[in-house]
Amino acid sequence: MLNKKDAAPPSLLNKLVSLTTIRDVELFEFSLLKTLAELLSIHQISMYKLDQFNTTCWLSTYSANLIQDDDKRQFSESQEIYTSEIMIPEEIKSAQLWIETTKKPYIHYQEDRYLVVYPILSLNKVEGMLTFELSHSLTEGEMLIISSLLSITHNFCSLLDESQKDKLTGLLNRQTFEANIKKINALTLSSDINQDHDGSELNRRRLKVETGKFCLAIIDIDDFKSINDQFGHIMGDEVLLLLSYVMKQNFRARDLLFRFGGEEFVVIFRVSDKEEAYKVLERFRNKIQEYRFPQIDSVTISMGATLINELNYLASEIIGRADQALYHAKQNGKNQLHFYESLLENGFILEKKETSALNFF
C-alpha cells in the first residue's frame, strides 16, 4: 500500500511528463517557459533565440499574474506569451560574453533584484538565453531545476529536430509542412490561440506576433537531371547542400525552409506586402545565379510564389497556387520568379476553385 508521500510523483516529474508529450518545437519552448515560471514562482521569464550572425534575436516572453493569498503565491489563469524579432539588447550581449568566457550563468544584482541569464546550448554553442529576475539569489535546488530542465530540453529538441528535418540538407521535411500551414492560418485569422496538444493543456494564452502577411514560394533547380547525368549524384547532392546553405544565409532564422524531396524546396516567410516578398525572393534568385558551385559553376532556379490569406486554408490549395506560378516560370525560360496573384491578374492563368496540381498529402 502506498504512503501519502508516494501517492503522486514529484511536481517536477509531472512537468517533465507534460513537456515530453509535445511534438512541436515552438509549443515546447512556450511550455518550458511556463513550467519554469511555475516551478520558480516568478512572474515573468523570457527566451532570446539568437540568429546565426548574433545581430538579431527572437524574444519570447511568458507572463503570468500572481495572486497573493495568506502569504501563498498562486498563478492566475491569465497567461500570455509575446514573441517578436528584435535587435539583441546590449545587456544580453554582455551576458552572452560572460557565459562564453566563464562557462557559467550570468547573475547580476541590481536595485534589490537579481537578474539571472542562463544559456541554451546546442553543440556547446550558445544559441539562446533564458532571463528572469528574482528577489533572492538562486538556491541550489533552483539551480538544479533549471539545469535539469535545460538539459532535458536540449536532448528532447534534438530528437524533435531529427524527426522534422530532411536528412541531407537539415531543412524541414515535407511531413511538417501541413502542420506549419495550419499554425500560419491560425495566426492569419486571429492572434488568439486556445490549444490542447496531445491531451496536455497548455492553458489559455495569446500568441502575439508581428503583423503582416505570409508568402509561400516553391523553388526548383533548373535542369537538375542534367546535373546528375553529367556530374553524378554526389555532385547533385552537393548542389542541394549548397543551395540549402544559401537559403539559410538569405532568409531569417524564423522563416520556414523545407526540402520537399528531389530538387524542390519551399520557403514560407512573413512580409508586409507582395512587393516586399518579390524583393526578398529576387534577391535570393540572384544570389543563387551568382554563386559558384564546384565543378558545375553556374546553377539557376525557378520560383513560383503566392500569398497565404484567409481565403486559402488548405495546404494543398496554397501549394497548388504556387505550383501554377512555378510551372509558368519553367515554361517561359526558367531562372524566373512569378507570383500567382500577378499571373491571375494579367490573365496568364485561370483561377481554379479546387487544385490538384500537386498531391503531397
Distance of CA 308 to the CA centre of its chain: 17
Of 263, 275, 276, 282, the active-site residue reads: 263
- Kindly report the number of other CB atoms within 10 A of residue 99's CB atom: 18
DSSP state of 137: P
Query: Do residues 278 and 339 make contact, with C-beta atoms less than 8 angstroms apart?
Result: yes
> Residue for cell digits 534534438?
158
Residue 134 three-state SS: strand
Half-sphere exposure of 204 (CA within 13 A, CB side): 6
CB-based contacts of 284, cutoff 8 Å, min separation 6: 246, 247, 250, 251
Could you tell me whether strands 56-69 and 44-50 are parallel, antiparallel, or unpaired per DSSP bridges? antiparallel
Residues paired with 68 in a beta bridge = 73
CB-based contacts of 113, cutoff 8 Å, min separation 6: 133, 134, 135
> Residue for cell digits 516586399?
276
DSSP 276-328: HHHHHHHHHHHHHHH--BTTTB---EEEEEEEE-TT---HHHHHHHHHHHHHH
Q: Round to whole Å and give the CA distance between 246 and 252.
A: 12
Active site residue 263: yes
Residues recognised as catalytic: 263
